[in-house]
C-alpha cells in the first residue's frame, strides 16, 4: 500500500515539474533570447521610406541648371498578377517578351506578395499612353518618382551625373539602400549630402499578407523627410553655353573665373555631351557609348588634364625675377638663338617687351638669374638652391598645389624642384640625379616646357592672379547653398610671394600682346575692352610605338579683362591646333566680349571659330 | 437536511472557485484583446467571440449551479448513464456532414456543440464509478510489486484481466479517432495517470518515459544512415538502434552475471530479454506507425518539434509565428490590446482565439503575465490533487484525478505547443480558449468535482 500512496507525490511532482520547465523556457524565450523579438519585428513591422525631392541647382543668374522631373516605375505584385494577356501587355510597355519573363521570374523569386519593378523610369509622355490601359492588368501598378533633368543641356562636366548606388557605396554609408541613386560626379557628387536631403521613415505594423494595419508605437520612431537644399552655382549659363558652342569640333578646355571672388564663370571641356544622356533607363547604353569614344568626352579636361603651360609661364618668370631682385623692370637680354629657337622680333628692351614679344632666349637668360644666383661655388649646388626658391614662388601662384576647387577628383600640375630632378625624374635612366644637373640642363622650364605641367584650371587661376595683381581666391563653383553661406575657405585671400608693384610691367606687356603690332595675340583684340593676355604654344610630343613624334602644337591662351577692375580671367587651351594666337586667343576674346557686353560684335571672328574643325584624326597623327 | 443550501456554499472549496473565476475572467479579457475590432468594441457584442464566450460562461455557471444543488449520490448513481449519453453523442456525430474534414460538430443554427468535449466528463465519471465499485478487486488484479522489468510481461494479462476498464477507455478513444480528432484521443490517454494513481500498471509511467525516449531517438535517426565504425557497411538508423539495444542487453547481462546472486538471476534474465524483445518490437512499431499510419501533416508537426525540418514560412509557419509572438512579449509585455502578432486582425498567428490563445496573453503580458498564468494553473492542478487525496470516497478521488489529468494534459499540450516544446495538437487551454463546448465541459468537470468535494464530510457522517 505504501508504494501506491507514494504515487500521489509522483503525480503532484509531474504537475509541478512541467510548469517549471515551461516557466524556464518562457524566461529564455521572452527575456534572455532576442532571436524571437527580431523575428517578430521582421514579421510584423515594416517601414515606408519617403524620398524628399533632391535640391535644384541654379546658375548665378537664377537659371535652372538641374531640375527634377516626374517619371514612373511599373511594379507588380506577382500573386495578384494572374491571367494576364502578356503579349499585349509587353507591347504596351514597349519591352521584349524575354525581358518581361525575366523580370516576372525575378519578382516571383523575390516575393509573391511584395511588389517588384517591372519597368523603371518611364517618362510622363510615355506613361500617358500606358496609364489608361493599366487597369486591365491586375497586380500591376505605377509608382511616381522623380529623376534629374538638365533643362539647359549644358555643363555636363560641371554638373556630373547620378546612378544607382553600388554595394560599396552602401557599405560606406548605410544611409543608402539598394536601388537608391547617388551623385556620381561633378556637383551632384560634391554636394550629394546637401542635395539629397534626408529621407523620411514611417514604421507601421503589417498583417500576415503585408498589409499595413496601424502605425508602430504611434509613430514614435517616424521621421519626416527633409527636402534637399537648392544650390546656386557661380556658373553663367549663357557664357557656358556660348563656350561650348565655340569649342564644338575641338579638343580642349575653357575656364573663366571672376578674379575678385574666385567664382568659376564657366568650365568647358571639349568634347562634351548632353547631360540628359546619363539619365533614365537608357543611361547604361549611353554611358557605354561615351566611354568607348576615343576622344574621351567623359574626361573633364580642365581639372583632370595637365599640360606644359608653354609661354603663358613667362610672365611668372618675370615676376619672380623682379621680386628676387635679380632683374629690374628695365632688364634687357639679347635674343640669343643658341639658347633656344625664336621668331623674328626686335630686341626686348625691358620686361614689358619680353612679355609682348614672348622671346624665348630672353626668359631663359632671365630665369638663369633666378636659379643660378651664385650662392654656391658649384653650379650644381647653386642650381639646386635656386630651383627650390623658384619652385616655392611658382607654387605660390597655385600651380601644382591643391586649389580646393569644389569638384570631386582632379589632378595637380607639376612644379619640378630639387627633389624632383634628384630622385623622381620620370625616366628609367634618370639623366640627372643629385648634383648632376644645373640650369642649362633644365632651362626649358623657364619657357613653360619640359617638366612643368599645369591644368587649365590652374591657368585660369594664373590669369586671375594677374588680374588681381598678386592674389587669388580658390576657384569654386558654389555661390550659395540654401540656408547657408559659401564655405570659409573660398573667402580667404591667397597672396602670391610677389608684391603687387611688380605686376605692372608684366601686365603692360600682356596688354601690348593683344593691342600692339608685333604682339602675339592680335586676334584677341576687342575694340571696346582692354584685354591683357599671353599666348602659349605648347610643343606636343607623343610616343607612338617607342618613337617620339612631334605633333601639332597645343594652342594656349590666358587673359583677363578689362585691364583696370578686371571682371573676368580666362584660360583657353585647344589641343593640336597650332599657335596660341591663332585659335585660343580669339576664342578667349569672344568669351570675354560675350561676358562683359553680353553680345559679340565681331561676327567674322566668331564664324571663323565656329567653322573650324580642329579635331585631329588618328591617321593624321600617325602620318605626321 | 436543514440549512442544506447554506451548507453547500460553506463547504465549497473557495480557493478553487476563485482560481476558476480568475481564469475565466482573464480568459475573456484575453479573447477580447485577441480579436479586438474597433467596429465591434462592445464587451457583450454577441457578434464577437468574447461576447459569445461571456454567454457560454453564463450557461456554464447556470449548469454549475444546477450541479451544486444536485445530490452527490445522484451524480454517482447516474455516472454510467452520463457516460452512455456522451458515447451516444460521439456515435451520432459520426453521421453528420464533415466540417474541415472531421465529423466533430453538431450544428444548431449557428451554434456548434462538440460532443468530444463532453465525453471527457462522461468517461471521467464512468471510470470513477467503475474503480469505486471494483475497488476490492484492485488489490488482486494489481501487478506484483518489485517485479521490475518483468511487469512488461503483465501488460497483456493486465488488459485481459481489466477488460471493463479497458473497454470504458477504449470505446471513446476509437470513436474520436473515427471523427478523426487526434487531439481528443491524446487527451484520453491522460486517464493513464489516474490508473497509475489507483495502482494499476505499476511502472506504466516509467515505461512511458522510456518509450517516449526510444520513440524520439527512433524518429530522429530512422531516416539517416551511417557507416558502421571501422567498416564500409552502410546501416540504416533503425539497424543502429537495434545494434545499440543488443550491446546494452549484453552489458546488462554481464552486470547481472557478475553482481547478482544466482537465485535472482533467472527472473532478471527473463526481464532483460523480455524488455529487449519489446524494445525491438517497439522501435519497429514506432517507425512503421510514423511512416504508414500518421498523416503527412502530423509527421511534419513531429519533425518540426524534433527539429528535423525547419520551414518558418511553410510547414513551420504556425509555430514560428506563435513563438515570435511570445518571444516579442519580453519581460513585461506590450500591454493590453497591443499585440502586434498575436491579434486576430493581424492574421499572423492562426487559430488566435482558440488553440494559440496563449500567444496573445504572453505577448501582451510578457514573461510576468505568462509565469503568473502558469502558476495559476499549477495551483489549480495541485489543489485538485489535494482535493482528491482528502476524499474518503474512492469515487470522488478517482474523479478528482481524472479532472486533474485532463486539465494537465490540455495545459501541457496547449502551452507546450505554443512555446515549441510539443508538436502542434489543436486542443484548447482550459477556461482560456474561445469555445462554448470547451468552457462548458471544463466548467462541468470542475463543478462536479466541487460538488462531490463539498460532500466529503457528509460521506463521513
Give residue A426's pLDDT: 62
Does B139 have pLDDT greater than 50? no
Cβ burial, residue B313 (10 Å; 0-12/13-18/19+): exposed
Contact A11 B404 (CB under 8 A): yes
d(CA B256, nearest CA chain A) in Å:
25
More confident position, B284 or B58: B58
Give residue A5's pLDDT: 72
Give residue A283's pLDDT: 85
Cβ neighbours of B408 in A, within 8 Å = 14-15, 18
Whether residue B226 lies inside any domain: the answer is yes
CA pair distance B325, B419, nearest whole angstrom: 10
Whether residue B278 lies inside any domain: the answer is yes
Contact A207 B347 (CB under 8 A): yes
**Cα distances (angstroms) measured from residue A146 to each of A121, A180, B142:** 9, 12, 85
As a whole number, mean pLDDT of residues A592-604 equals 91
Cβ neighbours of B145 in A, within 8 Å = 3
With pLDDT > 70 as the criterion, what percentage of chain A qualifies? Answer: 96
Give residue B161's pLDDT: 66
Whether residue B219 lies inside any domain: the answer is yes
The pTM (predicted TM-score) of the whole model is 0.64
Contact A401, A395 (CB under 8 A): yes
C-alpha triplet A274, A276, A279: angle, nearest 5°: 140
**Per-residue pLDDT band at B143 (split at 50, 70, 90):** very low
Mutate to test the interface with A, among B142, B314, B341, B379 (most CBs of A within 10 A): B341
Give residue B261's pLDDT: 76
Pairing between β-strand A532-544 and β-strand A181-183 as defined by DSSP bridges: unpaired
Which cell is A30 given?
A: 521572452
Lowest mean pLDDT across A265-269, A502-506, B291-295: B291-295
Is the torsion defined by CA of A519, A525, A530, A533 positive or negative?
A: negative
**Per-residue pLDDT band at A511 (split at 50, 70, 90):** very high
Cβ neighbours of A17 in B, within 8 Å = none
Whether residue B301 lies inside any domain: the answer is yes
What pLDDT digit, counting tens, does each position of B3-40 carry?
455 567 778 889 999 999 999 999 999 999 888 877 77
Q: How far apart are the first and last CA of chain A?
A: 121
Contact B321 A41 (CB under 8 A): no
What pLDDT digit, counting tens, does each position of A5-53 carry?
778 888 899 999 999 999 999 999 999 888 888 888 887 877 777 778 8
Contact B340 A3 (CB under 8 A): no
Question: Cell 498567428, residue?
Answer: B349
Peptide bond into B214 cis (omega under 30): no
Give residue A190's pLDDT: 93
d(CA A191, nearest CA chain B) in Å:
41
CA pair distance B332, B324, nearest whole angstrom: 16
Contact A181, A270 (CB under 8 A): no
Closest partner CB to B347 (pick from A12, A29, A208): A208
- For B202-329, where are the E strands, in sequence order? 225-227, 234-236
As a whole number, mean pLDDT of residues A222-246 equals 91
Left (φ > 0), alpha (ψ -120 to 50) or beta: where does B263 sit? alpha
Contact A213 B345 (CB under 8 A): yes
Give residue B242's pLDDT: 82
The strand pairing partners of A49, in sequence order, are A201
- For A477-580, where are the E strands, in sequence order? 478-481, 494-495, 532-544, 547-561, 568-574
Whether residue B212 lies inside any domain: the answer is yes
**Among the residues of A402-468, which ranges form H helices?**
418-419, 439-442, 456-468
Give residue B147's pLDDT: 43
What pLDDT digit, counting tens, does each position of A441-474 carry?
888 999 998 889 999 999 999 999 999 999 999 9
More confident position, B144 or A304: A304
Select, from the ranges A138-152, A385-399, A545-559, the one with the highest average predicted confidence (pLDDT): A385-399
Give residue B37's pLDDT: 74
Closest partner CB to B378 (pick from A19, A41, A206): A19
d(CA B416, nearest CA chain A) in Å:
7
d(CA A106, nearest CA chain B) in Å:
19
Left (φ > 0), alpha (ψ -120 to 50) or beta: where does A552 sit? beta
Cβ neighbours of B377 in A, within 8 Å = 19
As a whole number, mean pLDDT of residues A245-274 equals 94
CA pair distance A415, A399, nearest whole angstrom: 7
φ, ψ (nearest 5 deg) of residue B106: -100, 125
Pick the residue from chain A with its C-alpha nearest to B380: A15
CA pair distance A428, A436, nearest whole angstrom: 16
Closest C-alpha to A261, from A490, A597, A585: A490
Give residue A22's pLDDT: 94
What average pLDDT is seen over chain A?
88
Give residue A182's pLDDT: 92
Contact B143, B161 (CB under 8 A): no
Count the neighbouring beta carbons within 10 Å of the beta carbon of residue B113: 17
CA pair distance B356, B249, nearest whole angstrom: 44
Give residue A214's pLDDT: 76
Contact A116, A106 (CB under 8 A): yes
**Number of independent structural domains in chain B:** 1
Contact A325, A463 (CB under 8 A): no
ipTM for the whole complex: 0.87
Contact A526, A533 (CB under 8 A): no
Cβ neighbours of A14 in B, within 8 Å = 193, 408
Give residue B156's pLDDT: 55
Contact A278, A286 (CB under 8 A): yes
Rg (CA), chain A: 34
Contact A3 B412 (CB under 8 A): no
Which cell is A137 given?
A: 492588368
**Per-residue pLDDT band at A568 (split at 50, 70, 90):** very high
CA pair distance A474, A493, nearest whole angstrom: 8
CA pair distance B442, A124, nearest whole angstrom: 66
With pLDDT > 70 as the criterion, what percentage of chain B qualifies? Answer: 87
Residues 21-50 of A with CB under 8 A from B: 21-23, 25-27, 29-31, 33, 35-37, 39-41, 43-45
As a whole number, mean pLDDT of residues A314-332 equals 94
What pLDDT digit, counting tens, does each position of B381-423 carry?
999 999 999 988 889 999 999 999 999 999 999 999 999 888 8
Question: Cell 571663323, residue?
Answer: A608
With pLDDT > 90 as the criterion, what percentage of chain A qualifies? Answer: 50
What pLDDT digit, counting tens, does each position of A340-360 carry?
888 888 899 999 999 999 999
More confident position, A76 or B301: A76
Q: Does A205 touch chain B (CB under 8 A)?
A: yes
Pairing between β-strand A478-481 and β-strand A231-233 as defined by DSSP bridges: antiparallel
Left (φ > 0), alpha (ψ -120 to 50) or beta: where does A610 sit? alpha
Give residue B6's pLDDT: 52
CA pair distance B227, B229, nearest whole angstrom: 6
Q: Domain map of chain A by residue range?
A: 47-233, 310-398+416-451
Cβ neighbours of A47 in B, within 8 Å = none
Give residue B137's pLDDT: 46
Give residue B422's pLDDT: 86
Does A3 have pLDDT greater than 70? no
What pLDDT digit, counting tens, does each position of B197-226 carry?
887 655 666 677 777 888 887 777 766 666
Q: Which CATH number fits domain A47-233: 3.20.10.10, 3.40.50.970, 2.40.50.140, 3.90.1310.10?
A: 3.90.1310.10
Residues 214-253 of A with CB under 8 A from B: 216
Pick the residue from chain A with its C-alpha nearest to B364: A30
Q: Which domain holds residue B302?
A: 201-308
Closest C-alpha to A555, from A587, A592, A513: A587
Pick the residue from chain B with its C-alpha nearest to A208: B348
Cβ neighbours of B324 in A, within 8 Å = 36, 39-40, 43-44
Which cell is A88 given?
A: 499585349
Contact A36 B327 (CB under 8 A): yes
Pick the residue from chain A with its C-alpha nearest to B350: A208
Pick the residue from chain A with its C-alpha nearest to B377: A19
Does B141 have pLDDT greater than 50? no
Contacts of B253 (CB under 8 A, 6+ apart): B269, B272
**Per-residue pLDDT band at B142 (split at 50, 70, 90):** very low
Amino acid at each position: 500500500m505504501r508504494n501506491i500512496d507514494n504515487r500521489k507525490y509522483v503525480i503532484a511532482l509531474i504537475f509541478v515539474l512541467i510548469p517549471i520547465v515551461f516557466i524556464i523556457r518562457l524566461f529564455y524565450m521572452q527575456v534572455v533570447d532576442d532571436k524571437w523579438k527580431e523575428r517578430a519585428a521582421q514579421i510584423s513591422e515594416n517601414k515606408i521610406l519617403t524620398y524628399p525631392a533632391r535640391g535644384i541647382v541654379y546658375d548665378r543668374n537664377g537659371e535652372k541648371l538641374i531640375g527634377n522631373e516626374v517619371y514612373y516605375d511599373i511594379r507588380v505584385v506577382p500573386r495578384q498578377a494572374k491571367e494576364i494577356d502578356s503579349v499585349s501587355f509587353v507591347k504596351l510597355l514597349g519591352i521584349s517578351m524575354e525581358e518581361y519573363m525575366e523580370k516576372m521570374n525575378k519578382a516571383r523569386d523575390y516575393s509573391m506578395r511584395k511588389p517588384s519593378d517591372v519597368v523603371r523610369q518611364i517618362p510622363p509622355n510615355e506613361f500617358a499612353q500606358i496609364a489608361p490601359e493599366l487597369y486591365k492588368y491586375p497586380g500591376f501598378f505605377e509608382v511616381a518618382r522623380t529623376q534629374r533633368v538638365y533643362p539647359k543641356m549644358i555643363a555636363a562636366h560641371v554638373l556630373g551625373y547620378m546612378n544607382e548606388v553600388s554595394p560599396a557605396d552602401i557599405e560606406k554609408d548605410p544611409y543608402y539602400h539598394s536601388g537608391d541613386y547617388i551623385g556620381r560626379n561633378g556637383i551632384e557628387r560634391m554636394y550629394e549630402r546637401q542635395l539629397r536631403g534626408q529621407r523620411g521613415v514611417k514604421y507601421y505594423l503589417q498583417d500576415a499578407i503585408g498589409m499595413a494595419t496601424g502605425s508602430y508605437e504611434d509613430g514614435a520612431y517616424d521621421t519626416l523627410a527633409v527636402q534637399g537644399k537648392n544650390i546656386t552655382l557661380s556658373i553663367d549659363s549663357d557664357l557656358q553655353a556660348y563656350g561650348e558652342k565655340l569649342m564644338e569640333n575641338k579638343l580642349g578646355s575653357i575656364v573663366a573665373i571672376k578674379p575678385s571672388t574666385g567664382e568659376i564663370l564657366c568650365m568647358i571641356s571639349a568634347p562634351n555631351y548632353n547631360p540628359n544622356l546619363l539619365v533614365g533607363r537608357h543611361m547604361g547604353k549611353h554611358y557605354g557609348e561615351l566611354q568607348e569614344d576615343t576622344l574621351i568626352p567623359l574626361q573633364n579636361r580642365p581639372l583632370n588634364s595637365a599640360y606644359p603651360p608653354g609661354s603663358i609661364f613667362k610672365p611668372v618668370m618675370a615676376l619672380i625675377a623682379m621680386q628676387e631682385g635679380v632683374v629690374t623692370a628695365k632688364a634687357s637680354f639679347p635674343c640669343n638663338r643658341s639658347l633656344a629657337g625664336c621668331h623674328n622680333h626686335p630686341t626686348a628692351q625691358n620686361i614689358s617687351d619680353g612679355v609682348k614679344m614672348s622671346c624665348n632666349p630672353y626668359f631663359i637668360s632671365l630665369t638663369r638669374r633666378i636659379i643660378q644666383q651664385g650662392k654656391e661655388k658649384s653650379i650644381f649646388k647653386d642650381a639646386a638652391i635656386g630651383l627650390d626658391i623658384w619652385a616655392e614662388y611658382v607654387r605660390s601662384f597655385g600651380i601644382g598645389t591643391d586649389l580646393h576647387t569644389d569638384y570631386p577628383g582632379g589632378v595637380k600640375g607639376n612644379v619640378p624642384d630639387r627633389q624632383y630632378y634628384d630622385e623622381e625624374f620620370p625616366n628609367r635612366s634618370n639623366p640627372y640625379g643629385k648634383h648632376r644637373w644645373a640650369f642649362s640642363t633644365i632651362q626649358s622650364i623657364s619657357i613653360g616646357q619640359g617638366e612643368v605641367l599645369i591644368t587649365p584650371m590652374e591657368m585660369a587661376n594664373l590669369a586671375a592672379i594677374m588680374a588681381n595683381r598678386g592674389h587669388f581666391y580658390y576657384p569654386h563653383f558654389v555661390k550659395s547653398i540654401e540656408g547657408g553661406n559659401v564655405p570659409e575657405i573660398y573667402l580667404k585671400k591667397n597672396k602670391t610671394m610677389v608684391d603687387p608693384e611688380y605686376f605692372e610691367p608684366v601686365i603692360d606687356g600682356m596688354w601690348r600682346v593683344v593691342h600692339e603690332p608685333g604682339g602675339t595675340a592680335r586676334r584677341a583684340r576687342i575694340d571696346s575692352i582692354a584685354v591683357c593676355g599671353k599666348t602659349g604654344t605648347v610643343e606636343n610630343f607623343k610616343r607612338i610605338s617607342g618613337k617620339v613624334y612631334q605633333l601639332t602644337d597645343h594652342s594656349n591662351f590666358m587673359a583677363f579683362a578689362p585691364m583696370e577692375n578686371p571682371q573676368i580671367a580666362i584660360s583657353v587651351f585647344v589641343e593640336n591646333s597650332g599657335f596660341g594666337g591663332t585659335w585660343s586667343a580669339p576664342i578667349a576674346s569672344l568669351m570675354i566680349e560675350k561676358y562683359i557686353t553680353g553680345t559679340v560684335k565681331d561676327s567674322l571672328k566668331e564664324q571663323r571659330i565656329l567653322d573650324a574643325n580642329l579635331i585631329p584624326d588618328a591617321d593624321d597623327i600617325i602620318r605626321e | 437536511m436543514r440549512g442544506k443550501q447554506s451548507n453547500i456554499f460553506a463547504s465549497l472549496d473557495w480557493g478553487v472557485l476563485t482560481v476558476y473565476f480568475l481564469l475565466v475572467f482573464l480568459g475573456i479579457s484575453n479573447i477580447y484583446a485577441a480579436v479586438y475590432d474597433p467596429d465591434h468594441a462592445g464587451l457583450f457584442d454577441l457578434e464577437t467571440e468574447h461576447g459569445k464566450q461571456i454567454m457560454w460562461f453564463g450557461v456554464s455557471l447556470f449548469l454549475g449551479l444546477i450541479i451544486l444543488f444536485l445530490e452527490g449520490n445522484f451524480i454517482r448513481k447516474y455516472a454510467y448513464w452520463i457516460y452512455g449519453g456522451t458515447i451516444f453523442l460521439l456515435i451520432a456525430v459520426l453521421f453528420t456532414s464533415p466540417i474541415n474534414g472531421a465529423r466533430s460538430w453538431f450544428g444548431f443554427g449557428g451554434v456548434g456543440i462538440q460532443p468530444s468535449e463532453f465525453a471527457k466528463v462522461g468517461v471521467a465519471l464512468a471510470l470513477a464509478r467503475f474503480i469505486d465499485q471494483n475497488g476490492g478487486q484492485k488489490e488482486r488484479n494489481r501487478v506484483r510489486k518489485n517485479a521490475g522489468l518483468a511487469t512488461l510481461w503483465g501488460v497483456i494479462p493486465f488488459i485481459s484481466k481489466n477488460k471493463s476498464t479497458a473497454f470504458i477507455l477504449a470505446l471513446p478513444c476509437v470513436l474520436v479517432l473515427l471523427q478523426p480528432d487526434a487531439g481528443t484521443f491524446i487527451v484520453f490517454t491522460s486517464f493513464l495517470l489516474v490508473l497509475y494513481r489507483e495502482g494499476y500498471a505499476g511502472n506504466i509511467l516509467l515505461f512511458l518515459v522510456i518509450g517516449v525516449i526510444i520513440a524520439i531517438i527512433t524518429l530522429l535517426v530512422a531516416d539517416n544512415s551511417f557507416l558502421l565504425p571501422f567498416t564500409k557497411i552502410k546501416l540504416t538508423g533503425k539497424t543502429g538502434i537495434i545494434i545499440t539495444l543488443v550491446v546494452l542487453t549484453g552489458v546488462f547481462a554481464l552486470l547481472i552475471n557478475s553482481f547478482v546472486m544466482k537465485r535472482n538471476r533467472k527472473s532478471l534474465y527473463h526481464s532483460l530479454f523480455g524488455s529487449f524483445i519489446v524494445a525491438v518490437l517497439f522501435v519497429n512499431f514506432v517507425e512503421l506507425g510514423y511512416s504508414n499510419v500518421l498523416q503527412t501533416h502530423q509527421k511534419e508537426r513531429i519533425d518540426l518539434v524534433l527539429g528535423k525540418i525547419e520551414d518558418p514560412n511553410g510547414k513551420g509557419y504556425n509555430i514560428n509565428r506563435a513563438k515570435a509572438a511570445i518571444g516579442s512579449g519580453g519581460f513585461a509585455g506590450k500591454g493590453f490590446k497591443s499585440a502586434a502578432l498575436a491579434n486576430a486582425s493581424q492574421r499572423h498567428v492562426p487559430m488566435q482565439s482558440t488553440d494559440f490563445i496563449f500567444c496573445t496573453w504572453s505577448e501582451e503580458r510578457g514573461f510576468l503575465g505568462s509565469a503568473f498564468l502558469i502558476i495559476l494553473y499549477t495551483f489549480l492542478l495541485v489543489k485538485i490533487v489535494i482535493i482528491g487525496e482528502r476524499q474518503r470516497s474512492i469515487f470522488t478521488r478517482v474523479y478528482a484525478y481524472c479532472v486533474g489529468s485532463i486539465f494537465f494534459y490540455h495545459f501541457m499540450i496547449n502551452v507546450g505547443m505554443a512555446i515549441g516544446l510539443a508538436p502542434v495538437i489543436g486542443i484548447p487551454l482550459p477556461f482560456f480558449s474561445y469555445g462554448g463546448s470547451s468552457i462548458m465541459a471544463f466548467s462541468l468537470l470542475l463543478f462536479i468535482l466541487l460538488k462531490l468535494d463539498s460532500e466529503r464530510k457528509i460521506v463521513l457522517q
